[in-house]
């Protein structure tokens, strides 16, 4: 390398460093140390290896760069700015402008800047995934690598390599400490994902201080034990050594690669080097001046980008990426002519469109008093849909036989280290890594589903939350949804999980009442392009309702619908979800015999119902009917939203118990008799409230009201008032 080339390299590296320092200082918050230390790593990777076109940052076969150390966000923003990445997301950005302008960097961490505190997918083009919660980025990168392998197996043909991208993720000590990273690394090693490279910033610093306080793992030995190729770079500033390590990754074809890079956090800051202060707060003007002096930088210059830096990046990653992207697009044109069906599928997949007729085989289930568990009907629907949606892939956290999520049709197969074409994924008992991997696959435009018991949704909740934050169309199938799983007892019986999932903004939960609601739930879940969905399924059988006698299951799409009115003048609303709807129907029939008119409402999804117009919501839950009962084998938390503060909420206020299902239903009040009793009490309360209200009106001197109140009271069914 010539002296001039070395000087350009150093100028580019120092530009990344100084932009990061200046942005954090201007914001008054942030993490300057890691971007300063890892600037040479990012520069070497992007400039010499990354197959990425800044002019088209969503080119399908681009290499992915994931900054798992999301607190070092200025490292990524500096790269996006200096390489000239273009904005391409019409929903959030002005297309064609720079994804990150210098003004955005100057307003780092400020309202509406494209440079928020941690990288956010969709908000800023070039950000491949939202990161910040440590460990999530590296785990998500595993899903991206799995997607590359699967898409290559499905779409590639001789002479047409449509998918073979690599995935790089930069992580730190925090990521290594979080359990999800070990789950994900174990899965990646088992699958021998040779297209995956993690770059571990081994700087021995966390917020509290030196990692020796809490972390003494031999990371290299651990990863070798997990089946990874491990190499080391002793100095993060050694571009030649970094280049050799990255080339080693490129040359490794039988396992993922971990590159351990020894760095000094806040490199170049004279007195704060190797301190947590450099990691978690601005350096201060004096320290910045000292660092710039050490770099040979004008000490008073702020947000300086020398003219030659952008030219250097344009000649490196820009030129290489443009050529590769142009070649790929030309290849795709030829691919369309040679393999038109596959090309159409590839296009639709990348644009999150579904194949024509994808839902034509969704079954309609015949009425059946015995019925089936909704997990069973879900498995039937899933298999029919998957036949017509080739890029729908998924599996379970070791529970596919129980969750009924195994694809069993001819050709489905298993995704394994030696066979990437299978559509059944085996995540092992790794719920958290499963969720992150699903996010990575969805970010790559594959449509993933994952499953487990509802109680274990807690183990993967952070990834579910990120799916909602990123607006990713992942589908979860959570079964064993209540105390209905019986003898396994309270450790396995979910109570608060449904309520906690409903609390996540942007997530849709659906708890179908019977097999036909299951069909409609799947139809809806897969039609949503930017919404994660949780399907909550029962272990026990539920009747398949006769839809000629009750409302159509298509009402699922609106979140709640009138299942049946028992009597003309509604006195009470019985609102159920899932298996408890089958309690509400006979309860309403019994009430009708007593002269009490009840309406049964199936409410599989609060979120979808809340999106409906006020007029529709009022047509289902008339505001003048205040006698209301909700029935759900879960926490009653939140049900006052629909039944009112004085409505009856039949649900769980404790943990469950270990016993046969029938005994549990009796113990916790999930019986027709208890629903009827609650309804009677509600009708009595509402009637008394109306009488009191009318008496109060009469006392103000309004004529005739007392007589009307008495007449109304005489119409009330005698048995409803006690």
Give catalytic residue positions.
431
CB 604 within 8 A of CB 556: yes
d(CA 334, CA 336): 5
d(CA 105, CA 246): 29
Q: For residue 504, what are the CA distances in angstroms to 444, 603, 701?
A: 23, 18, 50
Contacts of 645 (CB under 8 A, 6+ apart): none
Q: Enter the tokens of residue 173.
A: 């000590």
Buried b / exposed e along 90-113 (16+ C-beta atoms within 10 A):
eeebeeeebbbbeebbbbbbeeeb
Bridge partners for 572 per DSSP: 598
Phi, psi angles (nearest 5°) of residue 452 = 180, -175
Which of 471, 474, 479 is closest to 393 using CA atoms? 474
Which of 672, 662, 671 is closest to 483 using CA atoms? 662
Residue 471 backbone class (left: φ over 0; alpha: ψ -120 to 50; beta: rest): left
User: C-alpha angle 2/74/9, rounded to 5°?
Assistant: 0
d(CA 672, CA 657): 21
Q: For residue 298, what are the CA distances in angstroms to 75, 78, 295, 435?
A: 21, 19, 9, 47
Maximum separation of any 2 CA atoms in the chain, in Å: 103
What is the SS3 string spanning 171-231?
EEHHHHHCHHHHHHHHHHHHHCCCCEEEEEEECCEECCEEHHHCCCCCHHHHHHHCCCEEE
């Amino acid at each position: 390398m010539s002296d001039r080339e070395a000087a350009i390299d150093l100028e580019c590296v120092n530009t990344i460093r100084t932009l990061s320092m200046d942005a954090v200082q201007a914001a008054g918050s942030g993490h300057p140390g890691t971007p300063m230390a890892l600037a040479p790593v990012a520069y070497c990777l992007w400039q010499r290896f990354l197959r990425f076109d800044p002019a088209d940052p969503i080119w399908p076969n681009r290499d992915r760069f994931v900054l798992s150390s999301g607190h070092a966000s200025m490292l990524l923003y500096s790269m996006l700015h200096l390489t000239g990445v273009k904005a391409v997301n019409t929903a959030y950005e002005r297309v064609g402008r720079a994804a990150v302008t210098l003004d955005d960097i100057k307003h780092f961490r400020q309202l509406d800047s494209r440079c928020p505190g941690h990288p956010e997918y969709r908000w800023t083009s070039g950000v491949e995934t939202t990161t910040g919660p440590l460990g999530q980025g590296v785990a998500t990168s595993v899903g991206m690598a799995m997607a590359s392998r699967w898409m290559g197996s499905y779409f590639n043909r001789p002479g047409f390599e449509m998918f073979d991208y690599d995935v790089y993720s930069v992580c730190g000590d925090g990521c290594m400490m979080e359990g999800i990273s070990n789950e994900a690394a174990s899965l990646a090693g088992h699958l021998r994902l040779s297209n995956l490279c993690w770059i571990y910033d081994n700087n021995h610093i966390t917020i509290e201080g030196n990692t020796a306080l809490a972390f003494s793992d031999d990371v290299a030995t651990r990863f070798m034990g997990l089946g990874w190729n491990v190499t080391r770079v002793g100095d993060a500033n050694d571009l030649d050594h970094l280049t050799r390590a990255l080339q080693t990754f490129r040359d490794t074809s039988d396992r993922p690669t971990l590159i351990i890079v020894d760095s000094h956090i806040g490199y170049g800051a004279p007195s704060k080097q190797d301190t947590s202060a450099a990691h978690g707060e601005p350096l201060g003007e004096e320290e910045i001046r000292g660092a710039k002096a050490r770099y040979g930088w004008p000490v008073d210059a702020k947000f300086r980008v020398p003219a030659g830096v952008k030219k250097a990046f344009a000649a490196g990653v820009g030129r290489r990426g443009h050529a590769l992207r142009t070649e790929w697009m030309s290849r795709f044109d030829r691919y369309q002519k040679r393999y038109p069906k596959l090309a159409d599928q590839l296009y639709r997949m990348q644009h999150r469109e579904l194949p024509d007729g994808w839902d034509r085989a969704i079954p309609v289930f015949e009425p059946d008093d015995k019925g089936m568990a909704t997990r069973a009907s879900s498995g039937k629907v899933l298999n029919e849909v998957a036949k017509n949606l080739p890029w729908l892939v998924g599996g379970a956290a070791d529970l596919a036989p129980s969750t009924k999520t195994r694809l069993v049709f001819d050709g489905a197969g298993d995704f394994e280290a030696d066979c990437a074409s299978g559509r059944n994924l085996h995540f092992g008992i790794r719920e958290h890594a499963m969720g992150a991997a699903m996010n990575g696959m969805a970010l790559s435009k594959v449509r993933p589903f994952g499953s487990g018991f509802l109680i274990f949704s807690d183990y993967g909740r952070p990834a579910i939350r990120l799916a909602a934050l990123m607006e990713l169309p992942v589908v979860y199938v959570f079964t064993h949804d209540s105390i209905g799983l019986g003898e396994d007892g309270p450790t396995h019986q979910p109570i608060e999980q449904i309520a906690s999932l409903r609390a996540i903004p942007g997530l849709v939960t659906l708890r179908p009442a019977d097999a036909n609601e299951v069909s409609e739930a799947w139809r809806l879940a897969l039609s949503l392009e930017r919404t994660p969905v949780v399907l909550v399924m029962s272990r026990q059988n539920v009747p398949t309702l006769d839809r000629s006698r009750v409302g159509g299951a298509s009402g699922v799409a609106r979140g709640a619908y009138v299942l049946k009115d028992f009597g003309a003048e509604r006195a009470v609303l019985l609102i159920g979800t899932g298996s408890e709807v089958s309690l509400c129907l006979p309860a309403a029939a019994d009430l009708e015999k007593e002269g009490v008119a009840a309406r049964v409402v199936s409410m599989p999804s609060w979120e979808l119902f809340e999106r409906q117009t006020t007029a529709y919501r009022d047509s289902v839950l008339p505001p003048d009917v205040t006698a209301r009962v909700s029935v759900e084998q879960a926490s009653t938390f939140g049900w006052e939203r629909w039944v009112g503060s004085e409505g009856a909420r039949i649900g769980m206020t404790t943990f469950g118990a270990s016993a046969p299902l029938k005994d549990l239903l009796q113990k916790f009040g999930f019986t027709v008799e208890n629903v009827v009793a609650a309804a009677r009490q509600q009708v009595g309360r509402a009637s008394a409230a109306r009488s009191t209200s009318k008496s109060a009106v009469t006392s103000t001197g309004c004529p005739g009201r007392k007589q009307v109140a008495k007449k109304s009271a005489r119409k009330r069914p005698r048995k409803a008032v006690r």
